């Protein structure tokens, strides 16, 4: 079997047995990038020599009989939102075009400790703001299933990289669906864990109370393994939660008996593509056949999720992005007449349209006289959204839904209609607002051969249950085995 | 027309922690090496996150409890947003609507001689991070400004008083008492030259009208006062300016917006300042990177037990226990805990609290001031002073001799010689300062002097008491270390025979 067609587990087994070396594996992925990334444009940075050097080091370590980490020799792509020591980290923005962090993000340290090979940095919507990766200041990533379509976003580069077999694993960040929606659009597995499960230290902030890192993989086991490596308490992130990390990769194959799946009536309404709806209903039948009980639940406040999200996220963003002022690092305008002008010109030149739009939305919502009506109100509704879920999870183990109302849309299709673009996250936003874990797995194809994703949500810190539920479906279907033809 | 002065002070105090409030960087004052005490967190680099320094929070609790504040069981962090080059994140982490402490007071001794005190209300005390420092080209050649972020992230406690202060002098007394308390608690060194204590003053006047009504003038905030002297001078100036402004314009509170003014110490005048941003909407909101802080009763109890004695209590104890005057008690206690403890040790050791107070408030404070020494640096330590004062008490030497020895000890000490109590005996012996108790020797000398001075004897006998003075001097010349009181007594006895 070829290296590129292998799952993460298969790669691990072959590496352990010595059938292949990490250099073989890394070379195969680097070659795939070299051949196809000019088309897909998933990567912002690939350092072939550095990747091969890491691979050689792991091979040497293994050959010398030393203990190696859980991801020894396995390539992992990183969304360009995580800081990598000595390696340019742009966040998809002109503002950070020349920014080289002096430190590694917590997850990058974890990956290095696990002996993973960091193969490159992937494209993204600028500062993770967007649902199509069209807001990158550098390039537009294409959906490997249809190059005229977007891979989704904001982690479109990572999703496309795994989808196009340019990396077996990738890391993304998810603030309102930025892992799950592109996973759905690209036909791969993507997971957003519980808020606090993975340290945000070194994750360039978009909206701090919503941001969470997570794994992409071609199958559920791969996602389980990567999640296991990334998870765990970190004292450098005050919101990181000190809850033990189960060995997700060990338990993932165990089916759940007596599984109760919730379906929210609010999720199947106008605007949902018929093919998507059909695929989700078929997926529910698969679970029924496996003995699961499918029950209707209600999430009455979910209708406010988009409104609440687009107050809270831009508010936090307007503050988080204030540091990009051209004073200490990042882009500084060449011509300016005074201090205020330096700020305006640097930020005006350094940020793209969508980032500016969200900064303005957020600054407005936090302004004196508007704070109570917008930000404070949004916080209250956010709590109600969480209460809906708490209520629902009293009677079900997971909630199943589409990951997005449609399969991948065309590049340029929504770029001039921000509201329609915002609505493409309608199924994913609630999990961020409520802090819940969610996973998206391949669940079919549209008539145009575009992947359709099934989203499963669970109660906080129920990642293990979520992965096992997802794996039950994957075992019965072969959607995840389909690969885009490039 | 008369008026009442209304002042409230906002004091920013740097806390004495080893590391910054949200990262592990050192808080050392290090202006000569800019930007060395920094890390991704206090530089505000992308992806960095703050973690609260619990020690800074404990010192704040300690201070607030000493200021009789209510401690909130739940407090949170907010972002105060504005653009300025010394603020690397574009916001300052502070506390807005739920500060950790509220509603306290500080008893201020407004007249140390009388011992009269006044209670100044504390609206709130909250914790925040300090900004860095902008360094501007002051040559006038217009080169680039620079930023030093060594100070960015140093824990700052902001203490906001009620507008309870009624004069510039009272403000100074309040600040002195506050500084004393903070140094007693060990929560800050209050070194104003290094910016450890900074002050903003909100001031206006209530102008009394003939009909008995008071008209408030517009409130002015004087920013960034960096010495107690400047607080006093700027307020004196501002009070005068506001009254003149009132007489000129008749504008009252509410008719013009609150003004921010700076203090130009060189010109001795306040001046109108433009704010950091045109409009001061700081768009406060809760910092999502930090978790709220809760305080337990056990924690409060533990801190309460560690508070120690407050300056006001110590003054009271010195007055009652050692029978010191209001003035002496205030002078000793107000110099700080170290001097007060020095005094107390000497007072107890030599058994004469009043004598000890005299020496500490006069000789020691004078020498400390002249030689620019702290009590910690003063070479005559407690056991030596106890021994010296003991010699006075037992009449082994005179006070005059003791002063002479004191100066010798100080000089030797400052030359780096170790000063032990035994050195006093050596100096007494070598200088011949021991009081002579040999009555036979003294008798013989007195007899000799009386014989040699028949005129003085005759004068005395004819009622000229002053004549005895010349004789005392001659006896003292022959017998060094004789107690003049005793010599006088023996002479009078002899002449009266």
DSSP letter string, B156-179? EEEEEE-S-B-SHHHHHHHHHHHH
CB A427 within 8 A of CB A369: no
Which whole number is the average pLDDT over A132-158? 98
Q: Do B44 and A99 touch (CB under 8 A)?
A: no
Among the residue ranges A266-275, A342-351, B280-289, the one predicted with the least confidence is: A266-275
Contacts of B79 in chain A (CB under 8 A): 319
Instruction: Give B276's pLDDT tier (boundaries 50, 70, 90).
Output: very low
Distance CA A362, CA B489 (A): 93
| pLDDT for residue B441 | 78
pLDDT in tens, B424-433: 888 888 887 7
Predicted pLDDT of residue B142:
65
CB neighbour list of residue A115: distance below 8 Å, 6 or more residues apart: A58, A61, A68, A69, A70, A71, A72, A73
Q: A315, B289: Cβ pair inside 8 Å?
A: no
Catalytic-role residue among A154, A173, A240, A318 = A154
| pLDDT for res B262 | 93
- Examine the pLDDT at A136 and tell me if it is beyond 90: yes
Q: Is the pLDDT of residue B75 over 50?
A: yes
Write the residue in A204, A238, A375 that is nearest to B46 by C-beta.
Answer: A204
Cα(B296)–Cα(A175) distance, rounded to whole angstroms?
34
Judge whether residue B437 has pLDDT over 70.
Answer: no
Q: Is A163 a catalytic residue?
A: no
Indicate which residue of A79, A121, A142, A192 is catalytic: A79
- Give the CA distances from residue B171 to residues A232, B4, B10, B161, B343, in Å, rounded to whole numbers and listed in that order: 52, 14, 11, 10, 28
Q: What is the pLDDT of residue A418?
A: 81
pLDDT for B148? 95
* Residue of B43, B47, B149 lying closest to A202 (CB–CB): B47
Q: What is the mean pLDDT of chain B?
A: 90
Q: Provide the CB-side half-sphere exposure for A419 (13 A, CA).
A: 1
Residue A241 has pLDDT above 80, yes or no: yes
Distance from CA of A126 to the nearest CA of B (A): 14
A302 is catalytic: no
Residue B254 has pLDDT above 90, yes or no: no
CB contact under 8 Å between A319 and B48, yes or no, is no
Average pLDDT in the A23-41 region?
Answer: 98
Q: In the structure encoding, which two tokens stand for residue B83, read together?
A: 């653009």
Query: Which residues on chain B are in Cβ contact (under 8 Å) with A313?
Result: none
Which of A236, A312, A329 is the best substitution to test chain B (most B C-beta atoms within 10 A)?
A236
Show the domains of chain A with their CATH numbers: 8-255+470-481 (3.90.1300.10)
pLDDT number for residue A1: 60
- The phi-psi region of residue A92 (left if phi > 0; otherwise alpha if psi is between -120 and 50; otherwise beta) is left
Q: Are A133 and A161 in contact (CB under 8 A)?
A: no
Contact, A413 vs A148, CB < 8 A?
Answer: no
Segment A415-423 long-range contacts (CB within 8 Å, at least 24 positions apart): A415/A132, A415/A134, A418/A354, A418/A357, A421/A130, A421/A131, A421/A132, A422/A131, A422/A306, A422/A310, A423/A271, A423/A306
B279 confidence band (pLDDT: 50, 70, 90): low
Instruction: Give the ipTM of the model, two decimals please.
Output: 0.95
Q: Residues of A with CB below 8 A from B44's CB?
A: 323, 328
Q: A74-109 burial string, b = 16+ CB within 10 Å, else e?
A: bbbbbbbbbbbeebbbbbbbbbbeebebebbbbbbb
Contact criterion met (CB < 8 Å) for A237 and B49: yes
Neighbour count for residue A464 (Cβ, 10 Å): 22
Query: What residues have CB less than 8 Å from A254, skipping those under 6 apart?
Result: A468
pLDDT of res. B193: 83
Check whether B277 has a pLDDT greater than 60.
no
For A391-427, the pLDDT digits (tens) are: 999 999 999 999 999 999 999 998 888 888 888 889 9
Positions of E strands within B177-294: 197-208, 214-216, 220-225, 259-264, 269-272, 285-286, 293-294
Contact with chain A for residue B444, Cβ under 8 A: no
**CA neighbor of A203 nearest in space, from A94, A45, A81, A355:** A81
Cβ neighbourhood burial of A47 (10 Å; 0-12, 13-18, 19+): middle
Predicted local confidence at residue B256, as pLDDT: 84
**For range B84-88, the mean pLDDT:** 95
What pLDDT score was predicted for residue B399? 86
Predicted pLDDT at B442: 80
Q: How far apart are the first and last CA of chain A?
A: 19
Report CA-CA distances (Å) from A258 to A292, A330, A362, A464, B348.
6, 54, 44, 16, 81
C-alpha to C-alpha distance for A432 and A320, rounded to whole angstroms: 18
Contact between A32 and A166 (Cβ < 8 Å): yes
* pLDDT above 60: residue B275: no
Task: Please list every residue in chain B whose beta carbon sits closer than 8 Å to the beta carbon of residue A237.
Answer: 49, 51
Interface of B with A in 23-42 (CB under 8 A): 40
**Segment among A371-380, B387-396, B408-417 with least mean pLDDT:** B387-396
* Four-CA torsion A133, A138, A141, A147, nearest 10 degrees: 120
Average pLDDT over residues A198-221: 98
Cβ-defined contact of B289 to A239 (cutoff 8 Å): yes
Distance from CA of B60 to the nearest CA of A (A): 20
pLDDT at B234 (0 to 100): 95
Q: Is B74 helix (H, G, I), strand (E, B) or coil?
A: strand
Q: Which residue of A has its CA nearest to B80?
A: A319
Question: Tens of pLDDT along B22-43?
Answer: 999 999 998 899 999 999 999 9
Q: Of B147, B283, B289, which is closest to A366 when you measure between CB atoms?
A: B283
Query: What per-residue confidence (pLDDT) applies to A408?
Result: 97
Q: What is the 3-class SS of chain A, one letter each residue?
A: CCCCCCCHHHHHHHHHHCCCCHHHHHHHHHHHHHHHHHHHCCEEECCHHHHHHHHHHHHHHHHCCCCCCCCCCCEEEEECCECECCECCCCCCHHHCCCCCCCCCHHHHHHHHCCCEEEEEECCCHHHCCCCCCCCCCCCCCECCECCECCCCCCHHHHHHHHCCCCCEEEEEECCCCCHHHHHHHCCEEEECCCCCCCCCCECCCCCCCCEEEEEECCHHHHHHHHHHHCCCCCCCCCCCCCCCCCHHHHCCCCCCCCEEEEEHHHCCCCCCHHHHHHHHHHHHHHHHCCCEEEEECCHHHHHHHHHHHHHHHHHHHHHHHHCCCCCCCCCCCCCCCHHHHHHHHHHHHCCHHHHHHHHHHHHHCCCCCCHHHHHHHHHHHHHHHHHHHHHCCCCCEEEEECCCCCCCECCCCCCCHHHHHHCCCCCHHHHHHCCCEEEEEEEECCCCCEEEEEEEECCCCHHHHHHHHHHHHHHCCHHHCCCCC
Flag whether pLDDT at B444 surpasses 90.
no
Closest to A429 (Cα-Cα) out of A55, A167, A131:
A131
d(CA A173, CA A158): 10
The answer to whether residue B461 scores a pLDDT higher than 90 is no
Catalytic status, residue A178 = yes
Query: Band of the pLDDT at B274, cuts 50, 70, 90?
Result: low
Contacts of A101 in chain B (CB under 8 A): 40, 45-47
For the stretch A76-130, pLDDT in tens is 999 999 999 999 999 999 999 999 999 999 999 999 999 999 999 999 999 999 9
Instruction: Work out the number of other CB atoms within 10 angstroms of the CB of residue B143.
Output: 9
Contact A329 B81 (CB under 8 A): no
Token pair in block for residue A64: 């010398």
CB contact under 8 Å between B46 and A99, yes or no, is yes
Q: Within B186-296, where are the H helices?
A: 228-249
- B 119-158 near A (Cβ less than 8 A): 147, 149
3-state secondary structure of B337: helix
B454 in contact with chain A, both atoms CB, cutoff 8 A: no
A250-259, A277-286, B307-316, range with the lowest pLDDT:
B307-316
Cβ atoms of B2 and B160 within 8 Å: the answer is no
Residue B264 touches chain A, beta carbons under 8 Å: no
Instruction: Name the pTM for this structure.
Output: 0.89
Q: Which residues of A touch B45 (CB under 8 A)?
A: 83, 101-103, 329
Neighboring chain B residues of A82 at a CB cutoff of 8 Å: 47
Min Cα–Cα distance to chain B from A203, Å:
5
Is the Cβ pair B289, A238 closer than 8 Å? yes
Assess whether pLDDT exceeds 90 at residue B382.
yes
- Domains of chain B listed by start with CATH number: 3-299 (no CATH), 308-431 (no CATH), 439-495 (1.10.10.410)
Arithmetic mean of pLDDT over chain A: 96
Q: Give the nearest partner residue to B51 out of A89, A208, A236, using CB atoms.
A: A236
Per-residue confidence (pLDDT) for residue A33, from 0 to 100 = 98
Q: How many CB atoms lie within 10 A of CB B10?
A: 16
Q: What is the pLDDT of residues A430-474, one digit of tens each?
A: 999 999 999 999 999 999 999 999 999 999 999 999 999 999 999
Q: Chain A residues with CB inside 8 Å of B88's CB?
A: 323, 327-328
Q: Which of A93, A155, A165, A178 is catalytic?
A: A178
């Amino acid at each position: 079997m070829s290296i590129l067609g292998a799952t993460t587990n298969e790669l691990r087994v072959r590496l352990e047995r010595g059938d292949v070396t990490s250099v073989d594996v890394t070379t195969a992925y680097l070659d795939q990038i070299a051949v196809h990334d000019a088309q897909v444009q998933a990567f912002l940075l690939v350092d072939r020599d550095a990747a091969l050097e890491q691979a050689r080091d792991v091979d040497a370590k293994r050959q010398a009989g030393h203990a190696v980490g859980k991801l020894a020799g396995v390539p992992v792509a990183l969304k360009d939102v995580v800081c990598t020591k000595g390696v340019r980290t742009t966040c998809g923005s002109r503002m950070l075009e020349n920014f080289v962090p002096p430190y590694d993000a917590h997850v990058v340290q974890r990956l290095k400790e696990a002996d993973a090979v960091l193969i490159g940095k992937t494209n993204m919507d600028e500062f993770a703001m967007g649902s199509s990766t069209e807001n990158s200041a550098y390039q537009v990533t294409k959906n490997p299933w249809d190059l005229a379509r977007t891979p989704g976003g904001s982690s479109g580069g990572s999703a496309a990289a795994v989808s196009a077999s340019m990396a077996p694993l990738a890391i993304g960040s998810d603030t309102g669906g930025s892992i799950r929606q592109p996973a759905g659009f690209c036909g791969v597995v993507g997971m957003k864990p519980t808020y606090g499960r993975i340290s945000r230290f070194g994750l360039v902030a978009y909206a701090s109370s919503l941001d969470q890192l997570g794994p992409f993989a071609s199958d559920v086991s791969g996602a389980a393994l990567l999640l296991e490596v990334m998870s765990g308490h970190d004292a450098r992130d005050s919101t990181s939660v000190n809850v033990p990390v189960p060995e997700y990769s060990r338990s993932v194959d165990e089916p759940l008996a007596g599984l109760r799946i919730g379906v929210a009536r609010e999720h199947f309404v106008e605007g949902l593509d018929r093919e998507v709806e059909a695929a989700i209903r078929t997926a529910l039948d698969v679970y029924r056949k496996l003995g699961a009980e499918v029950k209707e639940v209600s999430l009455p406040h979910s209708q406010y999720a988009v409104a609440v999200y687009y107050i809270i996220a831009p508010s936090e963003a307007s503050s988080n992005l204030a540091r990009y002022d051209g004073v200490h690092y990042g882009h500084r305008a060449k011509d300016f007449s005074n201090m205020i002008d330096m700020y305006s010109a640097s930020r005006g030149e350094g940020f793209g349209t969508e980032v500016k739009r969200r900064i303005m939305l957020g600054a407005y919502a936090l302004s004196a006289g508007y704070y109570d009506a917008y930000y404070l109100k949004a916080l209250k509704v956010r709590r109600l959204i969480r209460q809906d879920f708490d209520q629902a999870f009293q009677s079900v183990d997971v909630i199943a839904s589409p990951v997005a109302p449609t399969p991948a849309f065309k590049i340029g299709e929504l770029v001039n209609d921000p509201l329609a673009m915002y609505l493409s996250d309608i199924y994913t936003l609630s999990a961020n607002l409520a802090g819940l874990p969610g996973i998206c797995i391949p669940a079919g194809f549209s008539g145009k051969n575009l992947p359709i994703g099934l989203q499963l949500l669970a109660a906080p810190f129920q990642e293990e249950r979520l992965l096992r539920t997802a794996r039950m479906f994957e075992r019965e279907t072969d959607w995840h085995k389909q690969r885009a033809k490039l | 027309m008369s008026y009442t002065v209304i002042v409230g002070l906002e004091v920013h105090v740097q806390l004495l922690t080893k590391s910054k409030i949200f990262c592990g960087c050192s808080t050392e004052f290090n202006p000569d090496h800019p930007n060395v005490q920094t890390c991704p967190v206090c530089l505000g680099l992308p992806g960095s996150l703050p973690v609260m320094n619990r020690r800074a929070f404990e010192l704040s609790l300690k201070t607030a409890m000493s200021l009789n504040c209510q401690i909130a069981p739940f407090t949170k962090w907010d972002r105060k947003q504005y653009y300025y080059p010394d603020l690397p994140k574009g916001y300052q982490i502070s506390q807005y609507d739920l500060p950790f402490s509220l509603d306290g007071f500080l008893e201020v001794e407004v007249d140390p001689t009388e011992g009269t005190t006044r209670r100044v209300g504390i609206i709130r005390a909250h914790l925040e991070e300090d900004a860095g420092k902008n360094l501007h080209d002051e040559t006038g050649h217009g080169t680039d400004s620079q930023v030093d972020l060594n100070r960015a992230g140093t824990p700052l406690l902001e203490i906001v008083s009620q507008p309870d202060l009624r004069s510039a002098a009272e403000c100074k007394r309040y600040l002195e008492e506050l500084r004393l308390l903070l140094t007693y608690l060990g929560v800050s060194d209050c070194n104003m030259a290094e910016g450890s204590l900074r002050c903003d003053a909100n001031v206006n006047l209530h102008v009394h009208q003939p009909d008995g009504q008071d008209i408030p003038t517009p409130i002015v905030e004087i920013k960034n006062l960096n010495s107690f002297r400047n607080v006093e001078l700027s307020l004196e100036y501002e009070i005068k300016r506001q009254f003149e402004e009132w007489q000129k314009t008749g504008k009252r509170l509410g008719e013009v917006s609150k003004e921010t003014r700076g203090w130009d110490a060189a010109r001795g005048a306040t001046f109108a300042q433009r704010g950091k941003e045109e409009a001061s909407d700081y768009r406060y909101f809760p910092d999502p990177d930090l978790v709220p802080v809760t305080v337990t009763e056990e924690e409060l109890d533990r801190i309460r037990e560690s508070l120690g004695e407050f300056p006001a209590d110590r003054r009271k104890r010195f007055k009652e226990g050692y029978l010191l005057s209001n003035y002496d008690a205030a002078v000793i206690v107000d110099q700080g805990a170290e001097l007060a403890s020095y005094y107390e040790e000497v007072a107890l050791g030599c058994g004469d609290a009043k004598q000890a107070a005299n020496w500490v408030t006069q000789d020691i404070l004078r020498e400390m001031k002249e030689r620019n020494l702290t009590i910690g640096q003063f070479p005559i330590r407690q056991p030596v002073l106890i021994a010296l004062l003991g010699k006075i008490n037992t009449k082994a030497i005179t006070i005059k001799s003791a002063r002479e020895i004191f100066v010798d000890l100080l000089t030797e000490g400052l030359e780096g010689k170790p000063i032990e109590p035994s050195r006093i005996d050596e100096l007494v012996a070598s200088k011949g300062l021991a009081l002579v108790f040999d009555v036979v020797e003294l008798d013989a000398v007195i007899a000799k002097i009386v014989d040699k001075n028949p005129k003085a004897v005759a004068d005395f006998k004819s009622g000229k008491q002053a004549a005895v003075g010349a004789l005392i001097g001659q006896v003292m010349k022959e017998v060094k270390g004789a107690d003049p009181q005793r010599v006088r007594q023996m002479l009078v006895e002899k002449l009266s025979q």
